[in-house]
Each structure stands twice: as structure tokens, then as C-alpha cells.
Structure 1
Amino acid sequence: MSKRTADEEALAGPLKGGGRPDAMDVDDKPNDMGEFEDEFEDEFESEDEIIEAGVDGRPDTEREAEEAAMDVDSGPGTFIVGRTQLEAGQTLAPDPTTYRMLHNLSTPWPCLSFDIVRDNLGDNRTVYPATMYTVAGTQADYSKANDNALLVMKLSGLSKMDGEDGDESSDDDDDDEDADPILESKSIPLTSTTNRIRAHQTPSQDPSKPPTTLTATMTESTNVFIHDITPHLASFDSPGSVITPQQNKPVCTIRAHKAEGYAVDWSSLHPAGKLLTGDNDGIIYMTTRTDGGGFVTDTRPFQGHRSSVEDIQWSPSEASVFASASSDGTVRVWDVRSKSRKPALTMQISDTDVNVLSWSRQTTHLLATGADDGVWAVWDLRQWKPSSGPAPEKPTPIASFNYHKEQITSVEWHPTDDSIVAVAAGDNTVTLWDLAVELDDEESKDTAGVQDVPPQLLFVHYQNLAKELHWHPQIPGALVATGEEFSVFRTISV
């Protein structure tokens, strides 16, 4: 959870679509990476006011009167989305006792889309300090488009919170666990801002060699660039290695789209590489990697949406099926074997834009969606039937939450727990939810004073301009979220 602190600058508004915030307060160099920030040392040593009962310097009577006016569930200094209002000049600081791990880092320009790359360090890792690899695309200011880059990053030295014992074991010394985090990066020049980026790995035929790691980057230029970042990842463990200009060039450029787009996904069931890309004209193209290592884009697009394709995702269990979300308020399910290139199912699930979707990998008939009105919902695809009339059918979700008051910008199921969902929203928060929570009658009485806070809500993490999040597939409970800066964290509740 978060606590309130005062700051001289007011919060920026939520970022939507392709808009870009101002540059970070770092050296203005295209390849200059940011640094991790020791949030609990730097911030609390500043002269910022800490608004917390007992330490704010106000008379006891004044403070006690304010506390009495607050709802019993909020507690002094606790921020609750949609209920607690920040005063002018206030921002939020995290409560360190609620995290197992928390690190923040900034980059020269915001990276509002990223993906996590699987590594060879093992699954179900609980050893600290942790290491992870990510890819991200920048959104530089319009006047400095040449600053844009695809960033391949290694994050290491990610330690536990001070005093956080947990049940994790480590073979490292305590001194190693307290080491400073390290950010290493390789930069691939781009001439356009990144709208969405996704990574894909193809197993090597030679067991002694690493998998081939590809990225697909949808840019504002309407082009989609596919890069092979295998040498960039390998260079982190090969001191002195040099990336050649040829290795920075895309292995394929998809020029089929006539409008920019935000929808990209690689199929996990096609190891060689099968890619979907959707644009603001409502057009979806499929690109397939050939046996020779090249790429072919099918010239027959998938058409059906009346407006922009906001997100797209392959089915985790059926190799020929994918779903798409659109600003026309629908989710459509497609079968790539269809000669008509028309959707097999169309469901009108919102009166506003459907921005994001996520397919559960544990229970593959469950689909989560997030819309522009702040509502996120869970759908049982077994209940969706083809419509017999001209208008799309409006189904009933099995769960729906109207907690966030701004647009949902990212939603993702936990990789191994089909009841846990992470959500990012334009109200500058990332929330964690447990759909398995149900209150009995006695518990309902105890929480009667908690209005508009669903019992399924586990945790609220403050993230300025929250845009995209991903669970780490190999470090249980670890989340990476991006917005104005990156947050890498794990809570004590997951």
C-alpha cells in the first residue's frame, strides 16, 4: 500500500494512447541509461513533508480530529483509490513494510511498453539478490525522435527489503543480499517511438546454444520491426564483446499497416515464430517465420472491428485461435484457418474502449479485459455463443470491478495462480486482486464500513502514469510495471 507525502510538483495526468510525457531529469543522451533509485534513503532524507500521524508536527487535537473524520478502514495516512483525495502538491510514497522487494529505475525517456525475457537461471527462483532481463521501447519527445531506441536490459542485484525475512532461502552471504542493484543495457537505435513491444524465444537445435530471442516493435511510423536480440543478451555475460551495426538492424520490417497500432502478440504454441499485429484502422495481419529463418506477412488481413485494435492475444491452448480487443467496445475471437478472415465470435462487452485483455494460462476458458471507463472484468468463454442477429450479443461477466476511476491500461493473470490478477490504471496505481476471496456473513459485518473497496483487492502500488505490467514467469510473485519510471517489486501478499 502507499502513504501520502508532499511534493512541490503536482501529479501529471494519466498517459493515454501515443501521448508522451516530458523527458526525465537525466543527461540528454540517446544511449545514457538511468539508474536505480534508493527510494527509502533518498526520499526520506529530503525536506519533503511526511504526512503521517504523529510525525507531521501538527497539534494533537487537530490531527486527532482529522483521524476521527476518516473511515475506520483507511487508517491515518493511508491512500485509497477513489476515496482519498490528494491535496495540491502531494504525491505518494510506499509503505516499505508491505513489500518483499521494491526497486525503482528511470530511463532517459519513458518506456511505456516492455516485455520480460525468459532466461537460463532456472524457474521458481526464490534466491536474492535476483536477476532479470527485459526489453523496452522508448517514447522520446517529438522534437527528439532520433533519441528513440529499443533497450535490451539486464537488472541484477535486486535485493529483499531490509528486515524482510520471508521464507526464501539464499546461498549468498548477507553482504551480497544488501548489494546495490545494477542496470546494464544495450541500445538499438530506432527513429520512431514505440507503441508496443513483445519478445519471443525459439529453442535452438543445438542444446549447447541459447534460444533465439526475437522482439517485435510496433512504432508510431506504422512499421513493425523484428530484431534478433540474441547477441545483445549474450553480451551481458561476455565482457568486452561488441555489438556490430549489422546486429542492430532489424531482421524484418513489416510495412503492411497503413496506420500505427498498439496490438502485438507472438504465439507461444508456434516456437518458430507466428506474430499478430493490429492497427488503428481495425486491421490485423499475421506474419510467420519460415523454415529458412525469413518472415512472410499474409496479405489477407483479418477484418471485423469498426475501430482501432487496442490489444491482441493468442490462445494459450489452441494454436489457431486468438482474441482481439477494440475501441469499438467489442472482444472478437478469431480462427486463423477461416478463409473469410472474419471473427468467429463477437461480444459487445463495454460501451467504451476495450483497451487490454489477458488470457489465463492456467484456466484457458477465462479471459480478463480492461476498459476505458475503469472497469475490468473476467469472462467465461464457454458462455460465449455466436450471435444470430445483426447486433453483437452482450454477455455477463463472471466478475466485474469498477474500483479504478480512470482507464485500465494493463491487465495480466498470474502465470501459475488462476485466481490472482494484476491491473494497471490511469489513476496512477497498480492493483493486485484475488478472485478466490469470498466473505462469509461474519466477515461481511466486520467490513460493513468499507465502501467501494472490494474484498478481492489485495494490494495497491503507486505508479505514476502506470501503463503496462508483467509478472516475471520465473520469479514467483515478482512484478515489473512501467510508467514515468520502472518499478520492480514483490509484495508480502503474493
Structure 2
Amino acid sequence: MTRSIKNPKKAKRKNKGSKKGDGSSSSSVPSMPAKVWQPGVDKLEEGEELQCDPSAYNSLHAFHIGWPCLSFDIIHDTLGLVRTEFPHTVYFMAGTQAEKASWNSIGIFKVSNITGRRRELMPKPAADDSAMDSDDSDSEDDSEDEDPDSSRSPILQLRKVTHEGSINRIRSMTQTPHICAAWADTGYVQVWDFSSHLNALAESETEGVQGAAAVFNQDPLAKFKHKDEGYAIDWSPLVPGRLVSGDCKNCIHLWEPTSGATWNVDKTPFVGHTASVEDLQWSPTEPHVFASCSVDGSIAIWDTRLGKSSAASFKAHNADVNVMSWNRLASCMLASGSDDGTFSIRDLRLLKEGDAVVAHFEYHKHPITSIEWSPHEPSSLAVSSSDHQLTIWDLSLEKDEEEEAEFKAQTKEHVNAPEDLPPQLLFIHQGQKDIKELHWHSQIPGMIVSTAGDGFNILMPSNIQTTLPSDGA
């Protein structure tokens, strides 16, 4: 497993002579033709650097909140269930990985005036192109559909709550988003109420502006100490307040809410894995069922009504299973990512028949650090890896020679794409170092946020559908 913290497929290769990411080249050094950059395959020659291709994004912004964040969550807000018009406003909570334990905090923050542009989608290729830098990349040469407020930069407002120890993972409650659970490297899982901070940010455009973030001391609503630190934690999407947390000593504990914003934590753990529990996911349809994955290479399915042993367990990967995601739009599908860089999709209806794997990908060559199904498209998911890439996949895509030839004919002056990419690979984002976690925004179709050693990116690829189908699927 890869943990502590100690853009995309089309990246222009150019000769040096100007500052990286400024979109221009030195007049004294001729620039080379644009070429799709293949991580781990292509090499930069002396005097060359990578350039962002802003046309690959409808929106791309970068920001940081101080110390690196290993984990964050997007907070469900009241600004609209399906938002497609720029500028956007997004609320987050994130935990830091500070140099000293006492320097850590949980950040509650708002990013407003997220600008971008809407435009017609290009014909979808077998694998489309993307960009390469984490600097703001709203194009200035394509203003036809540009948001009128795009001349203003996004505004970051931040409030901090002191926290002893680094935060390994943080999650906002589905039904009550101002309640969050945070896993600390001290072995504690704590539950917090951040309603006052979110209200303060919502009511003011100047509260906690970047550089003037207030720091607050606050007691958690509840806390429980595991035998060791951990990373696995998940709120139930069906039962408000129900929580599971798993640690590096193979133990999983169930939290049941009681009256008065308190929790009863079952001190008798669910035990079955033979190594660290890395991730947990509640079933989107069964309130008593959750899944776990482990360093032992297995995935287990548990039913809280059946005692402390798993209902099913199977070998999932040949290395540590770092992360997993249960598809909320197609509840039979479970995705998992491994330390060997592979990720797999399983149809849980096929478990009894033996081989439930319906898709397996070996594109990434370094550990998978995050995986998440799209909340709007049941066949789409996003994956991040220690190879500094964030990839977006559409499992419904198949190679179509005729369509691909037509697309290449239309875009031959703009795209020089590799031939051997999987047809399901829709987009590659780069520019961040050591990407740790990603999340889709459930209320803004097409928006993904990622955290890495060098900060956050908000991205909206131009070839990702940005409006819901008419049937609401």
C-alpha cells in the first residue's frame, strides 16, 4: 500500500524558452509540433518541456490550503441538485498531513467563481486527449462560450479546526453533510459537526479568504480508538449516521447512531482479513451489507445481521487491494484498485459462479490510490495512481474502426494520439504530483476534484458529458 505524502493525454511537447505553463514559446527557438504525451513511454529531450493543452478542458483550476492533504470530501450543498452553468461554487472538507502532529487541522472551505466554458462535444474517439499542467487553464483564445465572469480567479475561503495528528481519511455523512468522520494516524476515529463553519462560509464572501484563515479549537461529537491507525471508513448511504471503520490490525468496527448526536461503537470487531483493511464501502441498496478490501489481496462482503464473519470472500488481486468503489447507479458492479497498478470491475451477481470479473485493466504501472464511479453515468469511473495520472474510463465504449477513422480525419491537425490505448480510456489528466484521492461532484456533472502532494485540482474535461440525459439516468 502507498499512503503518506512525504495533465492529461494531450500534452504539448515544446522547446524551452519561456516559463512552464505560460502557453507561449520563445521566438528564438522553434517549437515542435504538438504531440500526445504518453507517461512512462515518451521521454523529454534536452531543451523540451510539457505544455498544457487548455482546449482539453471546459474548466481547470488549481489551489492548495497549506499542508498537503491525503484525503478530502466534497460536501453536498443546497445550491442545486444538477448545476451546469458557470461560475460554480463548491464546498469541501479536508485533513492535513503536517510536519508535526500539533500542526494538523481539518479544513472546511468554499471555492467560488469556478469559471469555464460550455461548448459542443467533439466526436468521441477511442480515447480522447487531455492536458498537462496544474495551473489555471481556461483558454483565452476560445471565448465564444466563455463564462462572463472568467476574468476573475476562483475565490478560496477557509476555516480550520485543530486536529492532533495527520488525517488519513475524511468523509462527510451522506444525509447530513456537515457531519464528518476523520481517521487519524493516532488510531482515533472522530466524528465532527462543522455546521457553524459551513454557515459562516455560506453567509460571507470574505470569511476566511486565503491567507487569513481562522483556526478554531473544537471538540468532536464522538471518538473511538482502534488498536492501530487505519484508512478505511464509510457512511451508510441508506441509514443516516451508520458508519464502519477499519484499521491496519484487520479489525472493522460498526458505529450505530443513538439519540442526541452520539454513537454506539461495537467493540467486538468484524474479523476475517489477514492483513490491513484498506477501504470500506456500504452497499447502495442493502442497509446491512458492506464490502471491505485488504492488503491480503482479498475483498469480503459482510452482512451485519449474520455475526462477525464475512458472508463471502474472494481473491481480488495479486497484490494489496488499496481502494474500492460500489456503483450506486448499477449496484451489482464493484470496482477495486491494487498496489500493482491494476484495477478490476466485478459483477457481484456472478460471485457464486466463480469468476465475477467483467473488466480488468493494466494501464497504470504504479499503485492505484483512488477509484470512484461516476454519480451520473453508470458505466463511467475515475482512477488515480502513483504514476501521477488521473484517468477517466467509460466501460460502454468499444473500438469502432470506422468512427475512429472519421474522428482522426476531422482532428488530424490537432491530435497525434497513440494507437495502443484501451478503447475504454476516455481521458488522462496529469500535472499533479503523487495524486492521492479523487471525487466526482454529485451535483455538477462532469466535475472531478483531486488532491495530491502539491495541492488540489478542479477539472472538467471537455469530452465528459456535462448535462444529464433527458430520462435522468
Counterpart CA distance in 2 for 1:244 and 1:48 is: 34
Contact between 2:396 and 2:424, CA under 8 Å: does it hold in 1? yes
- The corresponding residue for 1:312 is 280
Unpaired stretches in structure 1, ≥5 consecutive residues: 1-15, 22-43, 64-74, 203-210, 387-392
> 1:76 deviation in Å?
3.7
Q: Does 1:251 align with 2:221?
A: yes
Task: Output one character per residue of 1:403-437: Cα deviation in whole Å (capped at 9) or x when no partner.
Answer: 11111100111101011111100000101111111
- The corresponding residue for 1:373 is 340
Residue-pair matches, total = 418
- The corresponding residue for 1:19 is 4
Task: Output one character per residue of 1:211-266: Cα deviation in whole Å (capped at 9) or x when no partner.
Answer: 562111101000011100111100113459999999721111111x1111010100
Counterpart CA distance in 1 for 2:317 and 2:255 is: 30
Q: 1:380 to 1:212 in 2, by over 3 A?
A: closer
Q: 1:247 to 1:89 in 2, by over 3 A?
A: farther
Task: Output one character per residue of 1:337-384: Cα deviation in whole Å (capped at 9) or x when no partner.
Answer: 112x11111110111011111111111000111111111111100001
Task: Output one character per residue of 1:455-486: Cα deviation in whole Å (capped at 9) or x when no partner.
Answer: 11111111211110000010110010000210
- The corresponding residue for 1:182 is 155
- The corresponding residue for 2:257 is 289
Contact between 1:373 and 1:408, CA under 8 Å: does it hold in 2? yes
Contact between 1:112 and 1:483, CA under 8 Å: does it hold in 2? yes
Counterpart CA distance in 1 for 2:395 and 2:363 is: 14
> 1:402 deviation in Å?
0.6
Contact between 2:289 and 2:301, CA under 8 Å: does it hold in 1? yes
Unpaired stretches in structure 2, ≥5 consecutive residues: 7-14, 117-137, 409-416, 465-473
The percentage of aligned residue pairs carrying the same residue is 38
> 1:289 deviation in Å?
1.2
Q: Does 1:264 align with 2:236?
A: no
Give the alignment partner of residue 421 of structure 1, picking from 381, 386, 404.
Answer: 381
- Name the aligned partner's letter for residue 155 of structure 1: V
Q: Does 1:488 align with 2:444?
A: no
Q: Where in structure 2 are the equivalents of 1:163-178 lying within 5 Å?
A: 174=148, 176-178=149-151
| Alignment TM-score, normalising by the size of structure 2 | 0.81
Counterpart CA distance in 2 for 1:146 and 1:47 is: 41
Counterpart CA distance in 1 for 2:439 and 2:305 is: 30
Give the alignment partner of residue 433 of structure 1, picking from 386, 393, 409.
Answer: 393
Q: Does 1:217 align with 2:182?
A: yes
Instruction: Work out which structure has the larger RCO, using CA pairs closer than 8 Å and 6 or more positions apart in sequence.
Output: 2
Counterpart CA distance in 1 for 2:94 and 2:49 is: 26
> 1:45 deviation in Å?
12
Counterpart CA distance in 1 for 2:194 and 2:66 is: 21
- Name the aligned partner's letter for residue 258 of structure 1: K
| Alignment TM-score, normalising by the size of structure 1 | 0.78
Contact between 1:469 and 1:481, CA under 8 Å: does it hold in 2? yes
Q: 1:426 to 1:87 in 2, by over 3 A?
A: farther
Counterpart CA distance in 2 for 1:283 and 1:153 is: 32
> 1:442 deviation in Å?
4.3
Give the alignment partner of residue 479 of structure 1, picking from 440, 443, 448.
Answer: 448
Q: Where in structure 2 are the equivalents of 1:335-350 lying within 5 Å?
A: 335-339=303-307, 341-350=308-317
Q: Does 1:155 align with 2:125?
A: no
- Name the aligned partner's letter for residue 327 of structure 2: S
Counterpart CA distance in 2 for 1:352 and 1:17 is: 12
Provide the alpha-carbon RMSD of the alignment.
Answer: 3.1
Q: Where in structure 2 are the equivalents of 1:73-222 lying within 5 Å?
A: 76-86=34-44, 92-141=50-99, 144-160=100-116, 161-162=138-139, 174=148, 176-202=149-175, 211=176, 213-222=178-187
> 1:78 deviation in Å?
2.4
Contact between 1:51 and 1:77, CA under 8 Å: does it hold in 2? no
Contact between 2:322 and 2:337, CA under 8 Å: does it hold in 1? yes
SS, match of residue 196 in structure 2: helix
Contact between 2:21 and 2:51, CA under 8 Å: does it hold in 1? no
SS, match of residue 319 in structure 1: coil
Contact between 1:231 and 1:247, CA under 8 Å: does it hold in 2? no
Counterpart CA distance in 2 for 1:364 and 1:212 is: 23
Counterpart CA distance in 1 for 2:311 and 2:329 is: 23
SS, match of residue 216 in structure 1: strand
Task: Output one character per residue of 1:152-191: Cα deviation in whole Å (capped at 9) or x when no partner.
Answer: 01010101134556989x7xxx2x3432211111101011
SS, match of residue 383 in structure 1: helix
> 1:98 deviation in Å?
0.6
